Structure 1
Amino acid sequence: MADDIILEARGLSKEFKGFIAVKEVNLQVRRGTIHALIGPNGAGKSTVFNLLTKFLTPTRGQILYKGRDITAMKPADVALLGMVRSFQISAVFPHLSVLENVRVALQRPRGTSFHFWKPEASLHDLHDRAEELIEAVNLTPWAGHTAAELPYGRKRALEIATTLALDPEVMLLDEPLAGMGHEDIEGTAALIKRVSADRTILMVEHNLSVVAHLSDTITVLRRGEILAEGAYDVVSRNPQVMEAYMGTGEVGHA
């Protein structure tokens, strides 16, 4: 049903000085799901993601959010509608504490994010909600630490907390597990699954094992076009997907 589609691309194309990076992509992201964009290097997934998140302007095509054409809108305006790109829009201040970072993020909808000269008492009403978000991402023991002190995986957790502070309906995650060790990957993947309970997530991710466990739907791109789409068990056995990833091998199963 149309009401199930929260984010949609129609005929999305992007050219850079004659080079076609994305060609006629039609994509539908269903409400309440985790949808992954994957593909080999040079497949165009990052370009598609940047188009959907409004960091690039399409050469042709439309982007709709909840049925509304957002093709010409700026990222900040789209964020106000409830579609927020984590790890890009969410600013983490290294010398502020975890709690202070989340409180700053909570101020954004009020338009007072950078009013640091306001008295501390004016932030007290944000304190409880900030603590709830910190607990949600398992950072309560780190609440008083500065962001700069956090290990890499926990910095990513803080970035998710500051994104959640904007109360997004759709979270867009750009390679959320990049650069992480095994332990941080497991923790962050579990966190993504947890915060997806009442929202939609679209992510670009290279870790196919994580994609297999997290995603409801996977869109595979190759040379700027959609090669396959569906559940992991379906796309991972698609001969064209195997060829795109491995030449003559197969996509790994988790």
Structure 2
Amino acid sequence: MTETGDFILQTQGLTKEFKGFTAVNGVDLRIRRHTIHALIGPNGAGKTTVFNLLTKFLTPTRGTIAFNGRDITPAKPAEIARMGVVRSFQISAVFPHMTARENVRVALLRKLGTSFHFWRGERALAPLNDRADELLAMVGLERFREAVVADLPYGRKRALELATTLALDPELMLLDEPTQGMGREDVELVTQLIRKVSANRTILMVEHNLGVVSTLCDTITVLQRGAVLTEGTYAEVSADPRVKEAYMGRAA
């Protein structure tokens, strides 16, 4: 029997209503520690709303959220970020007119609690360069550390976003459509990077690309109309006729 401590994040009866419309309806999630877990479903299934509830950008109408056994339902977004729950947004969240290294350095300053000191002189910030360069190397951007982000290809920008997320030293990473809008080459790059950075971390991701999901994810939760339709491995959920009808058949 699995102990509660095996799960880093759990929800019970998670529900969100908007003026009579139920966007998320009684969702129970259990995210196992040190795994990659996907949340999938057709458009309008409630995936992004669940992410917004988990990261506290929305407040549940009912239900509870627990992280490492602690009830975080009333917590604010900044509080859960400090606990180690960090979200990477669907749109690349980097500073386009700064270099790749400068972007990672800003994230490191935020982790240190000195994010408003980015105006300090280069000499004062230099000690962060080594760690910034380590993170850039982890995502394959060592050659691009002095490149202005606006000049980077889209896939490299998403790789940089992973580096800035890692700079916050997350225990749980929530990735929102990490391969959206990418060509095949960039999808393969980012898929490899997600696998690499998942070591000793837990990842919960919303992803439409079923090839990515089948390659990366240990467990898949399928949502339909705001509720959990089924859950299991990719082989299990893809064989479920309800899933084929609701999602898989339309995305083949």
Q: Could you list the per-position Cα deviations for residues 21-47 of structure 1 after superposition, in whole angstroms to 9, with x for gaps in the alignment?
A: 111111000000000000011111111
Q: Report how many aligned residue pairs link the two structures.
A: 250
Asked if 1 retains the 8 angstrom alpha-carbon contact of 2:109 and 2:118, the reply is no
| TM-score of the superposed pair, with normalisation by structure 2 | 0.95
What residue is the counterpart of 1:59 in the other structure? 61
Shift of 1:91: 4.4
Q: Does the aligned pair in 2 maintain the 1:241–1:251 contact within 8 Å?
A: no
The DSSP-based 3-state class of the residue aligned with 1:241 is helix
Say if 2:168 is the partner of 1:203.
no
Q: Which residue of 1 aligns with 2:239?
A: 237
Q: Distance in 2 between matches of 1:82 and 1:133?
A: 17
2:51 equivalent in structure 1:
49
TM-aligned CA deviation for residue 228 of structure 1: 0.5
State percent identity of aligned pairs.
66
SS at match of 1:197: coil
- Shift of the alpha carbon at 1:117? 3.0
Report the secondary structure of 1:57's partner residue.
coil
**Structure 1 segment 1-254 matched on structure 2, within 5 A:** 1-87=3-89, 91-245=93-247, 249=249, 252=252
| Runs of 5+ consecutive residues of structure 1 not aligned to the other structure | none
Render the CA deviation track for 1:34-61: whole Å, top value 9, x for unaligned: 0000001111111111111211111000
Q: Distance in 1 between matches of 2:200 and 2:207?
A: 21
**TM-score, L = length of structure 1:** 0.95
Q: Given residue 128 of structure 1, which amino acid in structure 2 is its aligned partner? A: D
* Inter-CA distance 235–17: structure 2 relative to 1 (3 Å threshold): same
Q: How many angstroms apart in 2 are the aligned matches of 1:250 and 1:162? A: 34
Q: Which amino acid aligns with 1:17?
A: K
1:119 deviates by 2.0
**CA distance in structure 2 between the aligned counterparts of 1:47 and 1:87, rounded to whole angstroms:** 13
Inter-CA distance 8–118: structure 2 relative to 1 (3 Å threshold): same
**How far apart are residue 80 of structure 1 and its match?**
0.3
Deviations 1:142-185 (A, max 9, x none): 11111111110100001110010000000000000001111000
Moved segments of 4+, more than 3 Å:
88-91, 249-252
Q: Distance in 2 between matches of 1:90 and 1:174?
A: 10
Which deviations, in whole Å up to 9, do the C-alpha atoms of 1:54-106 show, x marking residues without a partner? Answer: 11111000000001111111111100000100137984211111111111111
